[in-house]
A = this chain, B = another copy of it.
Amino acid sequence: MPKNAPAITELKSLLGNRLSTAESVLNLHGENEAYFDVMPPDAVAFPNNTSEVSEIMKICHAHGCPVVPWGIGTSLEGHALPIRGGVTIDMINMKKVLDIADEDLYAVVQPGITREELNTELRATGLFFPVDPGANASIGGMSATSASGTTTVKYGKMSDNVMALEVVLADGRIIRTGSRAKKSSAGYDLTRLFVGSEGTLGIITEITLKLHGQPEAISAAVCEFPDTASAVNSVIMAVQMGLPMARMEYVDPISIKALNAYSKLTMTETHHLFMEFHGTEATVAETAERMKDITTTMGGGGFQYATKAEDRTKLWHARHNAYFAMKAQKPGADGISTDVCVPISKLAQAMDDTIADVESNGWQAPIVGHVGDGNYHVLFLFDRDNKDDLDLAKSLTSRMNMRALELGGTVTGEHGIGIGKMKYLKAEHGEAVNLMADMKTALDPTGIMNPGKIVSLN
């Protein structure tokens, strides 16, 4: 009898047809957005509520059956791959908005709702949830991986925007962390322990999120630069001056070429900043004016300011399609989309050294960056059947990670560790990784929570 069969039998009697072992369902939950092979779980559970998640965990705990929580599958480092088999818990039936507090600026949601679905529900309130990693990820997944994105420079990352959680622990206990107050000093910050824990410490079943008022005015701008340094220096100055920038995205010449082709644009194939300003009419206009001065001083040119919604939408739509635009440049190729984050003063150097490394290997790789945070992404496109290509992509990724560490940065600004970056986590945090392992052991002594991710105990 397969190892996890007794657990699956019990789960079947708990959930009926909401426990699936159909091959197509298993395969769907064994896929990933990265380059890892498909690894289907033994079964997929579709709980309807927290109490069922708790019952599932009690059964899996009793049988030592591994459990992997699943949002919508957009993670990039293999976070949700059931590498030790077991049961994947798909949160698709838990996507309610439980509360919207428009005076207190928070919403309480279930983990399966996506950020776009949440913002659709919020539209009439004048509020919005700003964290935007690009993909239409689930809020549970975004919490579990500590996602961030294009708006983080103004609105913060997930850990800044999650106020409270309900979590089901490995043994089925249900706990609540945080509160609905804007701040608290009451004991250890369990909320931020679970945010970014990638399902290895517990399953997030409810999230209280900060909301923000829709800005009175939004405008966008785009500017060209002769090199990375002049673009980055513009951003450094804007940050130092405390300008209220909502987005500041660096886009490299290779990406611009891809965007032109994919989105039928005619931008100059050089370094660009895509910017967005949120505020009152007056502050938005003032900020754009100052940003124009700054970029000119730093050697930029062709500053274009878009106040009309359709022009803005076109710009950001193009930016959001960057991943697909780049993949379209090499049809059929697989991609490693990897990110690191460094102090901003080191960002131009980090990007330039990475480009030089790629080019010296006879390759090209597009770079985009949430440059206000010092965070940049490289997409290595390769042919899966060509082992040399994959090896080169991996070694370029490895050097990019180590370079970020040498510059005082981190091996991932927002993608997380999953299985793809475990060795780099050790390089970054050394002895502290042993502390993470101690915490994992304390919270999940039998090691059933998304085993083999972040820290490997068995």
Contacts and interface: CB of A to CB of B under 8 A. Distances in A.
Interface stretch (A180-188, A248-256, A325-333, A359-367): A180-188
Contact of A213 (B192, B241, B435): B241
Contacts of A181: 341-343, 373-375, 404, 408-410, 413
Contact of A435 (B106, B147, B159, B169): B169
Contacts of A438: 442-443
A436 B176 CA distance: 12
A373 B280 CA distance: 22
What is the copy number of this chain in the assembly?
Answer: 2
A189 B408 CA distance: 17
Contacts of A430: 175-176
Interface string A101-137: 1111110000000000000000000000000000000
A421 B213 CA distance: 34
Contacts of A241: 213, 216
Interface string A419-458: 0010011001111110110110111000000000011000
Interface residues of A, number: 90
Contact of A184 (B147, B341, B344, B442): B341
Contacts of A428: 179, 186-187
Interface of A: 101-106, 145-148, 152, 157, 159-160, 169, 173-177, 179-190, 192-193, 195-197, 201, 212-213, 215-216, 236, 239-242, 244, 279-280, 282-283, 286, 341-345, 373-375, 404, 408-417, 421, 424-425, 428-433, 435-436, 438-439, 441-443, 454-455
Q: Which 10 pairs from chain A and chain B are nearest by CB?
A: A442-B442, A184-B410, A180-B408, A103-B345, A181-B341, A192-B192, A104-B343, A175-B432, A181-B409, A179-B410
